[in-house]
Amino acid sequence: MNFLAPLAFAFAATIPVVILFYLLKRRRTVRLVASTVLWQRFLGETEASAPFQKLRRNWLLVLQLLLLALAILALARPYFSGTQKPSDLRVLIIDASASMQATDVGPSRFAEAQAQALKWVEALSGRDQMVVILAGAEAQVKQSATSDKASLRRALNACAPTDAPTRLAPALRMGEGLVRDRPAAEIHLFSDGAAPGLEEFENKALPLVYHRIGVSGENLGIVAMDLRANPDQPRRRQVYAAIANSGTNPHPARVEFRLDDLLLETRSITIEGGETARLLFELSQTKDGVASVRIDGKDALEADNQASIISTMPRPARVLLVTRGNRFLEKALAAVPNLELNVASRLDDSATVYDVVVLDDLVPVSWPKANLLSIHAFNTNWATGWRTLEQPAITDWRASHPLLRYVSLDNVQVRESVAVTPPGWAVSLVDSPQASLMFAGQARSQKVIWIGFDLLESNWPLRLSFPIFIANAMEWLDPANEQSRMFMKTGEPFRLRVPGPVTGATMLLPDGTTRRLETSPGQTELVFGDTSARGLYRCTAGTNRISFCVNLLDPLESRIAPREELRFSKRAGVVASGTQSTHQEFWRWFAAIGFIVLLWEWWYYHRRSA
């Protein structure tokens, strides 16, 4: 047995004082008091004739000495050592991701993680130190290395879960830096184990102890959502939602579809275990609003039961085509619904009023600032490695990119093309063995699609994939489409391009608090990164007022079954700890025994008096 507070044994000096009181003879004074059975024999004593008396066998004295001894032992905080190895530094990492809000353990997984971490804090002894790190949307050191238990308790109690996905890698990287070159140090992770992207720790022999939190995997959650114009009726919108059942049992659900506070539709569905239901809702609106899909019911995780998206009234995209004469391109653009097309032979200052500019086989004197589709037009500031290729073969294309959705380039032949190395802000969409023939990306606030070959020097305009690509390109480049769907996942930064410099901006958060955004002179783009809470955000920047929704929409977080092993790679990982434990204190037992003795004595006296 060991003691966390051995100095409490100094109170044992009071034991002789109690015995001394029983050696002194007392002068009897008649007073009315709340008596107990153990005091009865002393009420009949005669007056003292000497200052001291012989110490007699006395159950009251025994009881008082016993209670005093129990109190001293409780203050000394005795404990038996657990099975954990000695450690001069322990880094406690608390997973604060959305899945830790699951209520399969009460009151929640996060509360259970806090309780387990607090037990390790209580077991801290000597000069050993602890660090508290909160792994939420970003890793935060809530308490630096200290031996002060009160500070560690405050840090743990100040932690709160977020609605963001799991991002444990930055927290583990931070913990690795703290325990490096300290052989006795440990990292303790309190999590349900839903942690991707840990491959960098495969060969680092991380001194990690994984405390698995959670017991169940039964949950329904919205894992995907999107909003698009109806292909048959461009003035109407379609809202797509995917609801996944991450459990093993069939789960009935009632799904509500709303525009703002107005309930538009309700559907009752049953989703089999491990399956995903895909729903499509029609939306006709007369004003801008928030379209929401909500699972009506109680399950283990509330954070993924609702997803919302801003739906603005559709308006035609203003597109300027600058070309020397390409009827194929002009007809493909004219066939795109909800688009106002203007054709010109040269680029002038009027281009500033357009949403999208298409440059076909010409190089302007000054490049437009609007979103741009550049076809066989050279800009040496974009990319490197410019060269000409004769009859380049198209060997690969990025079919997963929105621009190439439903686009196949198997039978496309090109006579000549410019080839480049794409810039860092873009991704290559179409590749030849030598270089990239097409790339797309966003340079600051401008979206750019670059095609290296002249369309009329290829057979692509004769293929069905060409008008599909043009329709995808206009949808991707149209800034109105970005604002009409104004939603993102929790933890992702919000970026807003404003027409001119702003001197200040504010953000109204879902909880009703307001945050001021710092701006610099001449700044035309606002960035806000604190989106760890789901809900509706409202940004005010000068005369600009923008609303956007933040949702979880993460299949990994909705799959709440706790992982038995934290995987670093196919061959490396850390199994959940089931043997390591903290010091087992039992001072509460001493306090409880003393309290029970007092209750027994009270009951016995009143039983005798009845």
Q: Mind listing the pLDDT tens digit for each residue in 262-291? A: 999 999 999 999 999 999 999 888 888 899
Strand (E) or helix (H) holding 119: helix 109-122
Q: Which two tokens stand for residue 407?
A: 């686009």
Phi, psi angle pair for 418, to nearest 5°: -85, 135
| pLDDT of 500 strictly over 70 | no
Q: Which amino acid is at 25?
A: K
- For the segment 407-413, the average pLDDT, to the nearest whole number, is 92
pLDDT for 55 equals 60
Helices (H), 458-610: 465-477, 479-484, 555-558, 587-609
For tokens 């538009």, name the residue.
Answer: 264
More confident residue, 252 or 588: 252
pLDDT for 579 equals 43
Please report, rounded to a whole number, the percentage of residues in the chain having pLDDT higher than 90.
48
| pLDDT of 482 strictly over 90 | no
Query: Residue 227 — very low, low, confident or very high, per pLDDT cuts 50/70/90?
Result: confident
**Distance in angstroms (rounded) separating the CA atoms of residues 447 and 403:** 12
pLDDT for 79 equals 60
- For the segment 86-114, the average pLDDT, to the nearest whole number, is 92
More confident residue, 446 or 524: 446
- For the segment 180-184, the average pLDDT, to the nearest whole number, is 86
Yes or no: say if 531 and 537 are a contact pair by the CB < 8 Å rule: yes
| pLDDT of 360 strictly over 70 | yes
Query: Residue 1 — very low, low, confident or very high, per pLDDT cuts 50/70/90?
Result: low
Low-confidence winner among 69-78, 169-178, 184-193 (lowest mean pLDDT)? 69-78
- For the segment 551-578, the average pLDDT, to the nearest whole number, is 83
| pLDDT of 26 strictly over 80 | no
- For the segment 103-113, the average pLDDT, to the nearest whole number, is 94
Strand (E) or helix (H) holding 244: strand 237-245
Tens of pLDDT, residue by residue over 156-172, are 999 999 999 988 999 99
Q: How far is residue 147 from each of residues 86, 130, 208, 267, 413, measured CA to CA in Å? A: 15, 7, 21, 56, 71
| pLDDT of 87 strictly over 70 | no
Q: Which two tokens stand for residue 283?
A: 């939306």
Mean of pLDDT over the chain: 84
Low-confidence winner among 43-52, 154-163, 427-436, 491-500 (lowest mean pLDDT)? 43-52
Yes or no: say if 548 and 494 are a contact pair by the CB < 8 Å rule: yes
| pLDDT of 364 strictly over 60 | yes
Q: Which residues pair with 584 in a beta bridge?
A: 80
In this structure, the strands spanning 356-360 and 371-375 are parallel
Angle ∠(513,519,524) on CA atoms, nearest 5? 115
Query: Residue 463 — very low, low, confident or very high, per pLDDT cuts 50/70/90?
Result: very high
pLDDT for 591 equals 75
- For the segment 293-307, the average pLDDT, to the nearest whole number, is 92
| pLDDT of 123 strictly over 60 | yes
E-only strand ranges, 96-215: 129-135, 139-146, 186-191, 208-212
**Distance in angstroms (rounded) separating the CA atoms of residues 606 and 610:** 6
Taking the complete model, does pTM exceed 0.85, yes or no?
A: no
**Distance in angstroms (rounded) separating the CA atoms of residues 399 and 491:** 27
Q: Which two tokens stand for residue 30?
A: 């008649």
Yes or no: say if 155 and 147 are a contact pair by the CB < 8 Å rule: no
Residue-range domains of the chain with CATH:
2-80+594-609 (no CATH), 89-215+562-582 (3.40.50.410), 220-302 (2.60.40.10), 317-482 (3.40.50.880), 486-551 (2.60.40.10)
> How many residues make up the chain in this entry?
610
Considering only CA atoms, which of 259, 309, 253, 250 is closest in space to residue 286?
Answer: 259
- For the segment 41-68, the average pLDDT, to the nearest whole number, is 61
- For the segment 544-551, the average pLDDT, to the nearest whole number, is 88
Yes or no: say if 434 and 389 are a contact pair by the CB < 8 Å rule: yes
pLDDT for 372 equals 92
Low-confidence winner among 41-45, 269-273, 470-474 (lowest mean pLDDT)? 41-45
In this structure, the strands spanning 426-431 and 436-443 are antiparallel
More confident residue, 526 or 471: 471
- For the segment 412-439, the average pLDDT, to the nearest whole number, is 89
Considering only CA atoms, which of 133, 134, 137 is closest in space to residue 145?
Answer: 133
Give me the torsion for CA of 594, 596, 598, 600, rounded to 10°: -150
Contacts of residue 607, defined as CB under 8 A and 6 or more positions apart, other chains included, come to: none
| pLDDT of 46 strictly over 60 | no
